[in-house]
Amino acid sequence: MGRRMTHPTLFFLHALGGSAQSWDAVIAHLGEFDCRPLDLPGFGAASDATGVSVEAMADTIAAQIRAHDADRWMLVGHSMGGKIATILAHRSEAGRLPGLVGVVLMAASPPSPEPIDDDRRATMIGWVKQGPVDAEDAREFVDQNIAAPLPPAVYEAAVADVQRAAPQAWRAWLEQGSREDWSDQVGTLATPAVIVAGAEDGDLGEANQRKLNMPHYAHARFESIAGAAHLLPLEQPDSVARLIRDHAGAVGAASVPADYARLIASDRVSARTRATLAERAIADDPDYQPKVVTMQQLETLRALVDRVIPQHGIDLAARIDTQLATGEGDGWRFAVLPVDADAYRAGLDTLDALTDGAFAKLEGEDRDALLHKIEAADWSAAAPLTPEQMSLWFEDVRADAVRLWLAHPATMARIGYDGFATGGDGIRKQGYALTAADEREGWEPAR
């Protein structure tokens, strides 16, 4: 039996002067998720905690994530918390924190030094020279970071959070943490991300999000939220929750569970196999631009593959198009068909020719009825491919789709296949000790 996939756990990291409570209104819209808002050291309920450097904060949050032992999880980082989230995403991809399936960055501080006006930085550092930020300065801080007045209770809670911040943590971020450059260490990440800015934000608005954060995520999209400046979770919690929910739905199904990620990272898997599985697990680009077929043909292919196999969040059509572009197919073709790229273009055009250009718009049962006719070569109409060619081409499509689907490590986890973990790089291969029906090795993930 396949593995049951659930929503990823959501871990929330707040901004400078915020706390876990900053996410209350957002979490109220995400009742179907396991939401875990965390206090960064020096803030909120952790204002007495030590270890307020960027690296120490990342260590603390990593330990809390491990303690929760979630198979699949996402990071939602706001401002200062966004920098920590990106560093943790890098650690996850390095195999040190398995299970991460996606990142949402809200007005995030980048891995590079954060663009803060020097005079404003000095003013904010001055606020904690005599102790915690006082009420007047806390109100100024909140006022500077919102586009419109907040509900009174939300506003007072935000001001109280700023006043709770430990002076050493406040100063450490402004003097050091925000200035640290982690760009080279983080590099470019494969974790799918949504990068968000308030339409009225200044230093961390759209321009700097595109310039400083998006280059670190190979699969990222940008979203702007109207009616918000910098304190997005307080200003527009419903819009923030919607973006989080949509991203979780897009990335969760095709993610590799933590127990399988740990197995892939173990010494039972060779370095070559591990690299191959990591490449296959890279999230599909939601804005994928086709290389061989046209955009209309790609949508037709998606509609076709959707009737062949449950994709569970894997964009098989995009992967087939990439395969056609690189020539990494199965190495053969039917003699009556043209080369693969030409055959795909002609086959997809034939589907549209038989449906007045509307194959992708057909209801599922109507698509199925047409595909049964194509499989049986039981149709006659003027089209780029003949009925015999279409029947054979459809066979090729099914083979390509199923092969790519089964090759994905998320699919292997879903069906409980762990046959890739029998060797490692040593001379003596580990293999299996238990081979009888219904027996399971201690190292095998639960199914």
Q: What is the mean pLDDT of the chain?
A: 92
DSSP 297-315: HHHHHHHHHHTTS--TT--
Total structural domains within the chain: 2
Lowest mean pLDDT across 32-36, 112-116, 307-311: 307-311
DSSP 233-293: HHH-HHHHHHHHHHHHHHHHTTPPPHHHHHHHTSTTS-HHHHHHHHHHHSPPPTT---SSS
Kindly state whether residues 151 and 77 are assigned to the same domain: yes
Kindly state whether residues 317 and 181 are assigned to the same domain: no
Residue 445 lies in a domain: no
The answer to whether residue 255 scores a pLDDT higher than 80 is: no
Kindly state whether residues 205 and 324 are assigned to the same domain: no
Of 207, 232, 252, the position where a domain reaches its end is: 252
Residue 237 lies in a domain: yes
Kindly state whether residues 116 and 172 are assigned to the same domain: yes
Supply φ then ψ for residue 319, to 5 degrees. -70, -35
Domain of 165, in residue numbers:
9-252
Please tell me the predicted confidence (pLDDT) of residue 447: 64
Give the integer Cα–Cα distance in Å for 396 and 389. Answer: 11
User: What percentage of the chain has pLDDT greater than the value 90?
Assistant: 71
Kindly state whether residues 100 and 183 are assigned to the same domain: yes
Give the integer Cα–Cα distance in Å for 130 and 207. Answer: 36
For 106, other C-beta atoms within 10 Å of its C-beta total 33
Kindly state whether residues 222 and 89 are assigned to the same domain: yes
Residue 283 lies in a domain: no
Task: Retrieve residue 52's tokens.
Answer: 């307020």
Of 227, 252, 277, the position where a domain reaches its end is: 252
Kindly state whether residues 387 and 248 are assigned to the same domain: no
Kindly state whether residues 342 and 228 are assigned to the same domain: no
Does the pTM of the predicted model rise above 0.75?
no
Kindly state whether residues 92 and 28 are assigned to the same domain: yes
User: Measured between alpha carbons, how far is residue 370 from residues 238, 366, 380 in Å?
Assistant: 42, 6, 12
Kindly state whether residues 246 and 295 are assigned to the same domain: no
Of 224, 252, 280, the position where a domain reaches its end is: 252
Top pLDDT among 19 and 219 is at 19
Tell me the mean pLDDT in the region 75-87: 98
Q: How confident is the model at residue 361 (pLDDT cuts 50, 70, 90)?
A: very high
Residue 389 lies in a domain: yes
Kindly state whether residues 36 and 164 are assigned to the same domain: yes
Residue 418 lies in a domain: no
Residue 263 lies in a domain: no
Please name which of 187, 194, 192, 195 lies closest in space to residue 216, comparing C-alpha atoms: 187
Residue 113 lies in a domain: yes
- CATH label of the domain that carries residue 173: 3.40.50.1820
Q: How confident is the model at residue 427 (pLDDT cuts 50, 70, 90)?
A: confident
Kindly state whether residues 311 and 401 are assigned to the same domain: yes
The answer to whether residue 424 scores a pLDDT higher than 90 is: no
Residue 348 lies in a domain: yes
User: Which amino acid is it at 397?
Assistant: V
pLDDT digits (tens, 9 = 90+) for 92-149: 888 788 888 899 999 999 999 999 999 999 999 999 999 999 999 999 999 999 999 9
Top pLDDT among 349 and 442 is at 349
Q: How confident is the model at residue 400 (pLDDT cuts 50, 70, 90)?
A: very high
